[in-house]
Amino acid sequence: MTDKFKFYSWSVSLYSGKARAYLIKQHIDFDDISPAEPHYDAVIRPAIGRWIIPVMETPNDEIVQDGVDIIDWFESRDMARLPAYPQTPRHLIASLIMEFFGGEGLLRPAMHYRWNFDEDNLDFILQQFGLFAMPQLAPEERRDMALHASGRMRKAAVMFGVTPDTMPHIEAAFEETMAEFDAHFAAQPYLLGGAPTIGDYGLFAALYAHLGRDPHPLAMMQNRAQMLFRWTERMRNPSSDMVEFIGRDESLLGDDHVPETLKTLLRRVASDYLPEIEAMIAMSNDWLAENQPAPDEVVGGESLGRGIGMCQFEWRGETLSVVVMPYRIFMLQRIQDAYDALDNTGRAEVDALLDETGLHRLITTRCHRRVERKNHREVWV
């Protein structure tokens, strides 16, 4: 047994970034380990039933898979130096919404800017994927295998709605979103003041691993959104890293205050992601009525798939067809469960914020069945 936590991940992995930033900010003693290590195939993979990252192995040999589960493992044991979940109603709901948006709502630009700018990105991506996945091979072999594997990811981008017709709209929307994030982080070190919350960790997933690390979007961020780029640096630093915010300490904004710059970002969620959420839930409810999965049935079946079909919705004058992944229902439930747990006063305060930002349907758009995580998988309840 070792005193260190083992974190199986890749730096190129979107979902790994969320948990890694949390471990860094909490000053957790951990080692980043490639799943190419033999221990992963010998012990980790059989235990969780599939190849997936991130995975954490505790000093007591407990295995925890998924960024949410890793963060909640520490939060439930009061091991967080800086608790991820705010204690006030508006801060909590706003932070959970931004977590959802970062991990799921920004996947379209994340996939587009990674896989459709080969002139800037391809050499870097192939080197990095090969290095992390197959470090034991010679560089030329790693590159060839990474090039073959990248074809699957390019097809996945299409499943998330990245097509020649939608690319101009994805780029226009992301440039607008970058500017809105830049304005917010010019005024605040983190989403809600002087300490990161679950919203920061969720946003970091896409805004670093793909959009703040791959050469093309990184250059965009450095040239057009320097304060957003500074936030990505801050999220990788175990210190508060707020040198440009004189006098700020590691505390959240007082009086449950949600600044106007964050309200602008919440409106962005309403315009750019809420239509997809509504289409996803409508399709899922139709699918559930037709298929009626048994309680605790694994989402996607034993084939290890995570999608159940496709849904369509209108966005910026285009009809998008995207994969429906019930993991997103699980993430949406986190917002809805937190809202349901509020008292009447807290709900009224959150209602006012959601009405102001066009997001109230995020609370009322509900799946007829719950999705929960059991034994490292999503299951229907």
Instruction: Give the C-alpha distances (Å, rounded to integers) separating 161 from 71, 105, 315.
Output: 29, 12, 11
Mean of pLDDT values over 241-263: 97
Q: Output the CA torsion sign for 155, 159, 160, 162.
A: positive
pTM: 0.95
Burial class for 267, CB neighbours closer than 10 Å (0-12, 13-18, 19+): middle
Instruction: Give the C-alpha distances (Å, rounded to integers) separating 81 from 19, 94, 250.
Output: 15, 21, 11
Query: Pairing state of beta strands 5-8 and 30-33?
Result: parallel
Between 10 and 147, the more confident residue is: 10
* Whether the Cβ atoms of residue 338 and residue 347 lie closer than 8 Å to each other: no
Least confident residue range of 34-43, 49-58, 299-308, 368-377: 299-308
CATH architecture for residues 89-260: Up-down Bundle (1.20)
**Tokens describing residue 125:** 């991506």
Helix (H) or strand (E) holding 354: helix 344-357
For residue 148, the Cα-to-chain-centroid distance in whole angstroms is 26
> How many other C-beta atoms lie within 10 A of the C-beta of residue 49?
14
Mean of pLDDT values over 103-121: 95
Q: Quick one: pLDDT at residue 130?
A: 82
Instruction: Give the C-alpha distances (Å, rounded to integers) separating 91 from 84, 121, 335.
Output: 11, 37, 12
Q: Radius of gyration over alpha carbons of the chain, in Å?
A: 20
Please state the domain extents for the chain: 5-75, 89-260, 272-380
For residue 341, the Cα-to-chain-centroid distance in whole angstroms is 23
Q: Is the pLDDT of residue 1 over 60?
A: no
Q: What is the DSSP string of 44-100?
A: IHHHHTS--S-EEE-TT--EEESHHHHHHHHHTTT--SS-SS-SSHHHHHHHHHHHH
In this predicted model, what pLDDT tens digit does every residue of 52-95 receive, in sequence order? Answer: 999 999 999 999 999 999 999 999 999 999 999 999 999 999 99
* Whether the Cβ atoms of residue 358 and residue 271 lie closer than 8 Å to each other: yes
Single-letter amino acid code for the residue at 215: P
Candidates 3.40.50.2300, 3.40.50.2000, 3.40.30.10, 1.10.10.60; CATH matching 5-75: 3.40.30.10
* Whether the Cβ atoms of residue 362 and residue 332 lie closer than 8 Å to each other: yes
Q: Is the pLDDT of residue 13 over 70?
A: yes
Mean pLDDT for all residues in the chain:
94
Q: Quick one: pLDDT at residue 305?
A: 66
Mean of pLDDT values over 10-35: 95
Q: Quick one: pLDDT at residue 142?
A: 82
Q: Quick one: pLDDT at residue 109?
A: 97
Mean of pLDDT values over 284-298: 96
Q: Is the pLDDT of residue 35 over 80?
A: yes
